[in-house]
Copies of this chain bind each other. A is one copy, B any other.
Amino acid sequence: MYPSPIVSGQQAREYTPGILDHAIAEWRSALGPEAVITNETDLARAGLCTFSIRRTVPVILKPADRAQVQHIMRIANHYGVPVYPVGSGKNWGYGSGVPSVSGCALLDLSRMTRIVDFSEELAYVTVEPGVTQRQLMDFLTARHSKLWMDATGASPDCSLIGNTLERGFGHTPYSDHFGHCGNLEVVLPSGECVHTGFGRIPGASTAPVYKYGVGPYIDGLFTQSNFGVVTCMTIWLMPAPEYMQAFFFRCDDEDGLTRLVDALRPLRLNGTLQSAVHIGNGYKVLSGLRQYPWELTGGKTPLQPDQLRQLSRSMNFGYWNGSGALYGTRAQVAEARRMLKKALKGNVTRVQFLDEGLLRVASSFAKPLGWLTGWDLTKTLELVKPLFGLLRGQPTAEPIKSAFWRKRTEGKADADPDTEGCGLLWCSHTAPIRGEDARIMMEITERITLAHGFEPIVSITLLTERTLCSVVSISYDRSIEGEDKRAMECYHQLMAALLAAGYPPYRLGAQAGYSVPAEEGFRNLMQTIKDRIDPKNILAPSHYVR
């Protein structure tokens, strides 16, 4: 169905014949037969993602609770069979749920869906790894909670813990997911259980509310690594502000990015902008509004800058298109708006503000929308509504439709990009929030993607007070001969060029493995820890750490 893998980077695990059968038999007796899956269809599905890396998955294990995870790890250790944990397997663009090496048992934690603890007063929730964005949203809604979660633009069925451990980000003031969690319960490769922060002190009332605990703060060890399986975590929730106002701006000047980034930096630094502002280029907006304009290009790819310009004029979006939100009391938001307007003055073509009331009106009357964003009227609401929701932490399935950008079939919100042959590779690199850095990143990105026949679909996010992140979507159609290979080459060239220019990635996909350059000292230290806590290298081999 799909081409075979062309980039492996990691070696498949080889077993002594018969070993795997023994392990599976033991897992069956430990978990019950229905929790140990070996049918061909499911196994084939488990090895698929949105690009050309495929792994052989010999068995899927679906534990019901932490004790079963511990059991699984002990058996895995005994037989030396590697195990790769996933929450929901929806790590789209970075390898979905595909194990880091072939031969791994897939440890599917999606049955562990307990919400273990919740406090409206102290604004936190403690969850297991199967709890998805949707489940938490429903939970909060059912309780009429005044707390907001933070959602990524990935699937509503994405695991909260999974995203947090990859240090993913969202769109509210709690966008730094790892920055807003603690109290981890971790099963080590040995099967031993460790609690972090104050969770390690019996009866500590501050376990769910204080991050660091006492003694070494070790939570970070379990992010972007293969040192343990996190089976429970406390996630902090944000008290809903009295008022939220989204803003949208556009800048039609191709060279406007430099000034825009420099103008926004002081506001991000001083906290006027509390959340991660996004600046999408025209390609990014277009891929959100519609699929590839085959008719305009006569079937040719990539979409050239002048063709994009034509579409942006007719569909009314800018060369750069920003969005974000202001949070607080009405007076706080008004003051932030004043400062934002002042900063943007002269740097954007227009800026519009949108609150819930206005959105409600807009939803009733399609026509008044014209002045709202200046974008294509029929499509605007479709794009704005889920984005507005994300800005207040509501997960949405909409953005994933853009994975169908180059497909000839239409992408639906409940579609599965893994099985529909969508090609999607995300390349997420960081730079200081400085216009000149943003400009250089864009220049590199445009040059390399277009040269490989792909559009530079880019969203620049002011991720933290000092750091921006450029997320490049290499979006293609896997059913077209040769595209898998070209996309992967494009990814690796882009990665190498951005790294060489001083812009390292904040996160890696399954295609990258542990391939980021690093000084020997750091590598040795990680290897030392890995060797000691996982001597048989059975947990997610090569996932960030060899």
Q: Which A residues have a C-beta under 8 Å from some C-beta of B?
A: 121-124, 167, 173, 178, 188, 192-196, 198, 200-206, 209-225, 227, 236, 239, 241, 265-266, 269-271, 274, 328-329, 331-332, 334-335, 338-339, 430-434, 437, 463-467, 499-500, 502-508, 514, 516-519, 521-522, 524-526, 528-529, 531-533, 544-545
Contact = CB atoms under 8 A, between A and B. Distances in A.
B220 A521 contact: no
B466 A209 contact: yes
B205 A212 contact: no
Contacts of A525: 188, 192, 194, 218, 533
Contacts of A528: 532-533
Contacts of A432: 122, 205-206, 209
Contacts of A209: 432-433, 464, 466-467
Copies in the complex: 2
A218 B215 contact: no
A176 B223 CA distance: 21
A205 B124 contact: no
A194 B467 contact: no
Nearest to A335: B331
- Chain A interface helix/strand/loop/mixed: loop
Contacts of A192: 521, 524-525
A460 to B, nearest CB: 14
Contacts of A519: 194-195, 200, 202
Contact of A239 (B211, B236, B269, B433): B269
Contacts of A531: 532
Nearest to A237: B269
A518 B200 contact: yes
Contact of A217 (B123, B178, B196): B178
Contacts of A522: 194-196, 200
B466 A122 contact: yes
B329 A332 contact: no
B212 A178 contact: yes
Contact of A433 (B122, B217, B430): B122
A216 B270 CA distance: 29
Nearest to A205: B502
A239 B272 CA distance: 12
Contacts of A204: 502-504
A365 to B, nearest CB: 33
Given A122-B432, A217-B221, A210 B466 contact: yes
A298 to B, nearest CB: 41
Contacts of A339: 329
A220 B218 contact: yes
B434 A216 contact: no
Contacts of A193: 521
Given A123-B269, A335-B331, A216 B220 contact: yes
